[in-house]
Amino acid sequence: MDNIYRNSEIAFSRLEGRQDSGFFKEHTGSSPPSGAEKSGAPCRHLLVLLAVLCLALLAGLIALGILYVQKSNRSDSLEERNRTLSVSLAGTEIKLEELLLRYKNLTDLQTSAYRAKDAGWTIHQGSCYLFSSEKMNWLQSQEYCMSKGSHLVIIKNQQEQDFLSSSIHETHWIGLNDRETEGRWVWVDNTTVDNHGTQHWFQKEPDNWTGGGDPNGEDCGSLGDHNGNLHLWFDASCGKRKKFVCERQPGI
């Protein structure tokens, strides 16, 4: 009996071993994992997880790079707009200043025109002129003009010459002389005739003629002479009495 029991236990034990082996093959299709395979599985999982993390990090870096580029482009665009607005604003300010300056000049000119008209002054091309009604010698004429905040007229161009010659009916003193150095004709502001590039001397003038009774000759300039040549210059004795033309800038 004892032998029967032992034999039956051995049989059952073998049968259970076979069943366990068959069950594993049936569900896994392979033999039970060895020790090396059991240790390799966690490594593969870690590698996969590490690869996923690397990909996620790379994707994050790419996203940050894209955001940085977009932000940089947006910043450049805003900076360019600011520069454009600054230039536009500066141009507007310059134009505004020019308009204000023009308005001030126009207002000053109008004010001066009213004052000049009341005082007997005539405005032409930005200058004020006073045509005297009295006759004086050249020095007295210059002193009179200075007392009015002006000076004997300085003829700078053809337009001014034409304006003056068409406004007079007899000879007038102008601010031209060679009193200090014979032959060196200067205006009352000490600029020479050559500085303005315009000269309107009568033929053979200036001649410093001494036959008129002045031993010093003719050292002062006049517009016109006693013969009615009113559009040309003549030298004359500074002691002669003539009408004269004063000139000043508006607002003085």
Q: What does the pLDDT look like over 62-110, one tens digit per residue? A: 888 888 888 777 777 788 887 777 777 777 878 888 888 887 777 666 6
Tokens of 225: 């002479």
**Residue 3 dihedral angles phi and psi, to the nearest 5°:** -65, -40
pLDDT in tens, 26-38: 444 444 445 545 5
The whole-number pLDDT of residue 118 equals: 57
- The DSSP symbol for 233 reads E
- Same domain, residue pair 159 and 218: yes
The whole-number pLDDT of residue 18 equals: 47
- The DSSP symbol for 240 reads S
What is the amino acid identity at position 137? N
The whole-number pLDDT of residue 87 equals: 73
- Same domain, residue pair 108 and 221: no
The whole-number pLDDT of residue 171 equals: 98
**Quick check: is 36 in a domain?**
no
pLDDT in tens, 233-247: 999 999 999 999 999
What is the amino acid identity at position 17? G
Exposure on the CB side of residue 137, measured as CA atoms within 13 A: 7
At residue 250, does pLDDT exceed 80? yes
Rounded to the nearest integer, the mean pLDDT of the chain is 81
Picking from 100, 119, 138, the residue at the C-terminal end of a domain is 119
- The DSSP symbol for 201 reads B
- Same domain, residue pair 159 and 56: no
**Residue 235 dihedral angles phi and psi, to the nearest 5°:** -90, 145
- Same domain, residue pair 57 and 76: yes
How would you class 233 by CB atoms within 10 Å of its CB: exposed for 0-12, middle for 13-18, buried for 19 or more? buried
**Quick check: is 35 in a domain?**
no
Choice between 204 and 84, residue whose per-residue pLDDT is larger? 204
Picking from 73, 100, 119, the residue at the C-terminal end of a domain is 119
**Quick check: is 133 in a domain?**
yes
- Same domain, residue pair 200 and 218: yes
CATH of the domain at 158: 3.10.100.10
**Quick check: is 28 in a domain?**
no
- Same domain, residue pair 81 and 160: no
What domain range includes position 213?
122-248
Torsion of CA 76, 81, 82, 87, to 10 degrees: 130
Q: Which residue has the tokens 């045509």?
A: 131
Percent of the chain whose pLDDT exceeds 90: 45
At residue 121, does pLDDT exceed 60? yes
At residue 177, does pLDDT exceed 60? yes
Confidence class of residue 162 from pLDDT cuts 50, 70 and 90?
very high
Confidence class of residue 15 from pLDDT cuts 50, 70 and 90?
very low
- Same domain, residue pair 193 and 232: yes
Asked if 148 contacts 246 with a C-beta cutoff of 8 angstroms, the reply is yes
pTM of the model: 0.56
**Quick check: is 29 in a domain?**
no
Separation of alpha carbons 236 and 135, rounded Å? 14
Tokens of 113: 């025109």
172 closest CA partner among 198, 148, 144: 144
Confidence class of residue 252 from pLDDT cuts 50, 70 and 90?
low
**Strands in 23-63 per DSSP E:** none
What is the amino acid identity at position 86? S
- The DSSP symbol for 33 reads P
Q: Are strands 172-177 and 243-248 parallel, antiparallel or unpaired?
A: parallel
- Same domain, residue pair 57 and 163: no
- Same domain, residue pair 235 and 141: yes
- Same domain, residue pair 102 and 134: no
Picking from 119, 146, 179, the residue at the C-terminal end of a domain is 119
The whole-number pLDDT of residue 86 equals: 74
Choice between 1 and 154, residue whose per-residue pLDDT is larger? 154
Q: Which of 40-44, 57-61, 70-74 has the lowest mean pLDDT?
A: 40-44
**Quick check: is 17 in a domain?**
no
How much is the average pLDDT of 174-202? 92
218 closest CA partner among 204, 237, 202, 203: 237
- Same domain, residue pair 126 and 242: yes
The tally of domains found in the chain comes to 2
